[in-house]
């Protein structure tokens, strides 16, 4: 079953990512950079907020083929650095020729993707649509087809441009409304199931928090490290209380520290162990 998500930039202002997650969206992609030197002013806030709300996250770069490809790829990479669990491959937003010929734009895109893949160790995503089909003449470029396609096409169905056999993501609206965002935003769909999306993001196999019922003590350190849906559920809820915790489904040192912060806030014994009292306080249950 396809998975719903959104993409954002400075134009969406301050986003309440907890509300976005509560609306059923499972991923979000934020604009990071533009050209060789412009950073989206909301990127750092969005990048942290997406993860904090328990969404899978991605970043994209707006291409300027009139500027050096390797320089732009390195600049983009510098905005997010290494990728961890829950991070989608970075995306190249290709929608203008910047005064360059079609062949030059294609060569530029290939150089950018190659440099970015070298830096981040993952095959980047390519965002394009009408630009590829109409401005570039819908060419077939086998190397481009190695990158997952994020197709921009606002319609009830889509037609895949040449070079790709099928899109991986589909941006199907540029005027959606989503809780947590004032005004409109782009609506996106991952054309696979949640498990495939989580695998793409190197995330734990499920984001289903399950029933909000305490079932075991969550302790760190432990061998093996404690992991599972109950850890995801507790981490996700802890983040709504401003614990600043990465939702990775593994109860490690950062989870223990977040637990201690919450225990101190709730007036409980500060031991970093999620027992029944800490669980109940975190979820506001008795």
Residue 53's beta-bridge partner residues? none
pLDDT for res 246 = 72
CB 188 within 8 A of CB 169: yes
pLDDT for res 284 = 79
Angle separating helix axes 102-120 and 69-80, nearest 10 degrees: 40
Instruction: Please give the backbone phi and psi of residue 218, each rounded to the nearest 5 degrees, phi first.
Output: -100, 120
Residue 185's beta-bridge partner residues? 176
Domain ranges of the chain: 3-200, 204-286
148/237: higher pLDDT: 148
- Which of 76-90, 146-160, 222-236 is least confident? 222-236
Burial class (CB in 10 A: 0-12, 13-18, 19+), 10: middle
Question: Residues of the chain with pLDDT > 90: what percent?
Answer: 72
pLDDT for res 286 = 46
Mean pLDDT, range 20-46, rounded to an integer: 95
197-237 pLDDT, tens digit each = 998 998 876 544 545 688 899 999 988 888 877 888 888 88
- Which of 10-19, 42-51, 225-234, 272-281 is least confident? 225-234
CATH placement of domain 3-200:
3.20.20.80
In this prediction the pTM is 0.73
Mean pLDDT, range 246-268, rounded to an integer: 88
- Rounded to whole angstroms, how far apart are CA atoms 134 and 172? 18
CATH superfamily of 204-286: PGBD-like superfamily/PGBD (1.10.101.10)
Mean pLDDT, range 1-21, rounded to an integer: 92
């Amino acid at each position: 079953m396809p998975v719903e998500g959104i993409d954002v930039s400075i134009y969406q202002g301050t986003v309440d990512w907890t509300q976005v997650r509560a609306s059923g969206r499972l991923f979000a992609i934020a604009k990071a950079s533009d050209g060789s030197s412009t950073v989206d002013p909301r990127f750092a806030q969005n990048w942290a907020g997406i993860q904090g709300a328990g969404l899978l996250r991605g970043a994209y770069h707006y291409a300027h083929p009139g500027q050096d490809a390797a320089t732009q790829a390195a600049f983009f990479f510098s905005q997010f650095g290494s990728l961890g669990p829950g991070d989608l491959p970075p995306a190249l937003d290709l929608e203008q020729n910047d005064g360059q010929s079609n062949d030059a734009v294609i060569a530029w895109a290939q150089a950018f993707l190659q440099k970015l893949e070298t830096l981040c160790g993952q095959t980047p995503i390519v965002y394009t649509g009408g630009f590829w089909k109409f401005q570039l003449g819908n060419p077939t470029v086998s190397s481009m087809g190695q990158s997952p396609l994020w197709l921009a096409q606002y319609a009830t169905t889509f037609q895949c441009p040449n070079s790709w056999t099928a899109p991986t993501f589909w941006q199907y609206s540029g005027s959606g409304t989503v809780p947590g965002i004032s005004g409109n935003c782009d609506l996106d769909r991952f054309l696979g199931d949640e498990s495939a999306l989580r695998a793409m993001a190197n995330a734990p196999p499920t984001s289903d928090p399950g029933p909000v019922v305490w079932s075991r003590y969550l302790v760190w350190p432990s061998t093996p490290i404690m992991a599972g849906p109950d850890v995801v559920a507790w981490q996700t809820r802890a983040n709504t209380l401003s614990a600043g915790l990465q939702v990775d489904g593994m109860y490690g040192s950062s989870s223990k520290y977040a637990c201690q912060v919450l225990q101190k806030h709730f007036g409980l014994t500060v031991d970093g162990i999620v027992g029944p009292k800490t669980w109940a306080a975190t979820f506001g249950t008795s």
